[in-house]
Structure 1
Amino acid sequence: MSPISVEELYIFHRIDREVFFRLVIRLARNPAQSLLVMAFWLWIESIKYPKFITKLVGLSDPLINTFANEAVTGLRCLEMEYDDTPESGGGLPLTTILMQEEISLQFFRQKRFTIIVGIRCVLNKICARIFTDILQYLLGSANTSTSISYPSHYRPLVVPGFPHPLFGTFTIPPINFEELDLFDPRIWITMHGYDDGATDDDKTMFLTFSRGFPVTKEEVWHLFTRIYGDCIKFLNMGNGNINDQVLFATMVLNNVEIVDRILNGMHVAKFRLNGKHIWARKYERRDYI
């Protein structure tokens, strides 16, 4: 098979590139924020709503701007504390119309960690490759024309606004045809969940138990597999205290979607097993510092 060129990659993603160009050039929106909006739209296409961006491209710039504002409203919910996240179902009325299915701010709350991992993966696997020349022109190119060209390489370019507190780093690498894996299906095929971008930290729950009510590893394993099926990758019970009772555990799940299913939009989920309480929340590394 002959090598696939970057130009062919751009052609394949021409509609995504046109919408991004309109966001950052014609509408002069913030580049980092626009990358997150595009990553969200690409991710949402991959899980349930194909051709969403294709529908956007035929709209006027003011309408695309409104859709971008709705996406930003949703993305900001991911950064909010749980108590501050709106409980109402509203927030994205035009997006709901275009998708022909309701998508509310509750969607961002209930699928918080799945969305974060998905956007992070899309940013680095897709956006970093298909928007390179547009970002180079916007942020660092010496070219003063309004056209977008396809040079064979670019100098490294960091987008202001990254690293992001939720989505991490996003740095445009120099393109090297030997290093750029154009056969990676993730830059061509959109219908997948991007869970391969999740680390073990992304899929880890922190469990706590009540003092005086010992919980065994077998009980924890049985509880969660009974409710969520074969969901546990591994389970580490914490060190015992004075009475050798384990008071906490870390549970690494098979995929990040189970994290959202367990929490169901809450900061802490509460379970009861054999008269004992188990509390589950998302693991954060600082818990062990």
Structure 2
Amino acid sequence: MDTPLIVTKSPITRKEVHLFYQMDRELFCFLIFKLNRDVTQSLLVMALWLWFEKVGCHNLIKKISFLPGTLINALVNEAVTCLQFLEMDDRNIPIGGGLPLTKIIIQKEISLHMFNLKRYTSVTGIKIVLNQICARIFNDILQIVLKRQNTIVTQGTASRTHTANIPLTLPGFPHPLFGTFDLSPTIENINLSDERIWIEKRPYDDDDDATTDDDRSMFLTFSRGFPVSEMEVRCLFTTNYGDCLQSLTMGGNKNQGEQPLFAVMILKMVELVDQILMGKRVSKLQINGKHIWARKYEPRV
């Protein structure tokens, strides 16, 4: 979707948004109604493909839309493989990279190895596309599908009126990777100049409010008996990754003279998390002969 837009200050309507994303909406419907794919799975696949478009795979949705159904179904299977791969702790990459058809369609080097090295960048990008684009352009379709499913489930045990009052929920959400999903976003009366879904570039910028502190946080641990100072931690990461720290909080009770055994670090860009981990769950670093273990910070729910 490379059509340039003239940004104005006039409010937009739901119809205009749907028209702009007509091809994306038609492909989403094709996955659900023609290929009979699961609605949640189809939504995540569309989020992945839209993220691909935003990071350089131009016109991907258009290319996929013109393919026969059997090839589209095969591409969906590869997309599902990507999404499942991101959820795995032990990630084994098959010979050839595991995404042969996707590689042909996008005409770029792509494999599960890329998702291994850029796991948190990918997760954050897909999550943002899911909530800031998909939630708005597929909302009415999701409402129809979920209401129909609720009607089928409750048929014979509840009236239509009662069924209509059942709160709609999207199966699988909150998602372990992508968090919550809003089934009723408001898009009317939003200025084009402020509306993220009209921006034809990356789905988010690292210096804006699209990524959260949790997206960019890491948990550090230190060895007992080998005290590591805050200055040493800052020196280690700024020397290797430049001006990367947003904040650093050392653990332990300073008033009681306790040795910090852990720290929580918030980085300025989510890509830095992947650079530090290099595809591993835990990265082992060293400064002044003392070890520091770094892993992605996972906040308690």
TM range (shorter): 0.7 to 0.9
User: CA shift at 1:104, angstroms?
Assistant: 0.9
Match of 1:104 in 2: 111
Matches for 1:167-246 after TM superposition, within 5 Å: 167-173=178-184, 175=186, 177-178=188-189, 183-194=193-204, 195=206, 196-240=209-253, 244-246=258-260
Matched residue SS, 1:115: helix
User: CA shift at 1:160, angstroms?
Assistant: 2.1
CA contact (8 A) 1:205 1:282 kept: yes
Match of 2:76 among 68, 76, 80: 68
Matched residue SS, 1:160: coil
Matched residue SS, 1:172: coil
Structure 2 residue identity aligned to 1:231: C
Q: TM-score, normalised by structure 2?
A: 0.84
CA contact (8 A) 1:270 1:279 kept: yes
CA contact (8 A) 1:157 1:171 kept: no
Match of 1:17 in 2: 25
Tell me: CA distance 1:176–1:91, structure 2 relative to 1, closer, same or farther (3 Å): closer
> How far, CA to CA, are the matches of 2:20 and 2:116 in structure 1?
32
Structure 1 residue identity aligned to 2:12: I
CA contact (8 A) 1:37 1:71 kept: yes
Tell me: CA distance 1:56–1:256, structure 2 relative to 1, closer, same or farther (3 Å): same
> How far, CA to CA, are the matches of 2:84 and 2:41 in structure 1?
11
User: CA shift at 1:114, angstroms?
Assistant: 1.3
Match of 2:127 among 120, 131, 146: 120
The one-character-per-residue Cα deviations of 1:42-94 (angstroms, maximum 9, x if unpaired) are 1111112121112111111111111111010011011111x344365521101
237-246 or 208-217, which moves further after superposition? Answer: 237-246
Tell me: CA distance 1:136–1:244, structure 2 relative to 1, closer, same or farther (3 Å): closer
The one-character-per-residue Cα deviations of 1:95-134 (angstroms, maximum 9, x if unpaired) are 0111112211112221111111111111111111111222
The one-character-per-residue Cα deviations of 1:234-289 (angstroms, maximum 9, x if unpaired) are 10111159863211111110121111111010011111111111110111224xx9
User: CA shift at 1:171, angstroms?
Assistant: 3.1
243-252 or 26-35, which moves further after superposition? Answer: 243-252
Match of 2:144 in 1: 137
Tell me: CA distance 1:246–1:89, structure 2 relative to 1, closer, same or farther (3 Å): farther
User: CA shift at 1:17, angstroms?
Assistant: 1.1
Task: Indicate the RMSD between aligned Cα atoms, in angstroms.
Answer: 2.4
Tell me: CA distance 1:87–1:266, structure 2 relative to 1, closer, same or farther (3 Å): farther
Tell me: CA distance 1:2–1:197, structure 2 relative to 1, closer, same or farther (3 Å): closer
Match of 2:288 among 265, 269, 274: 274
160-169 or 39-48, which moves further after superposition? Answer: 160-169
> How far, CA to CA, are the matches of 2:188 and 2:148 in structure 1?
20
Identity across aligned pairs (percent)? 54
223-232 or 233-242, which moves further after superposition? Answer: 233-242
Report how many aligned residue pairs link the two structures. Answer: 274
CA contact (8 A) 1:17 1:130 kept: yes
276-285 or 130-139, which moves further after superposition? Answer: 130-139
> How far, CA to CA, are the matches of 1:265 and 1:216 in structure 2?
27
CA contact (8 A) 1:270 1:278 kept: yes
CA contact (8 A) 2:13 2:187 kept: no
CA contact (8 A) 1:238 1:248 kept: yes
1:265 aligns with 2:279: yes
Structure 1 residue identity aligned to 2:276: I
User: CA shift at 1:197, angstroms?
Assistant: 2.9
1:254 aligns with 2:276: no
> How far, CA to CA, are the matches of 1:256 and 1:181 in structure 2?
28
97-106 or 131-140, which moves further after superposition? Answer: 131-140
Structure 2 residue identity aligned to 1:160: P
> How far, CA to CA, are the matches of 2:67 and 2:289 in structure 1?
57
Structure 1 alignment gaps of length 5 or more: 143-153
Match of 1:147 in 2: none
The one-character-per-residue Cα deviations of 1:124-177 (angstroms, maximum 9, x if unpaired) are 1111111122222222269xxxxxxxxxxx997422222211111223116573
Match of 2:158 in 1: none
Tell me: CA distance 1:65–1:184, structure 2 relative to 1, closer, same or farther (3 Å): farther
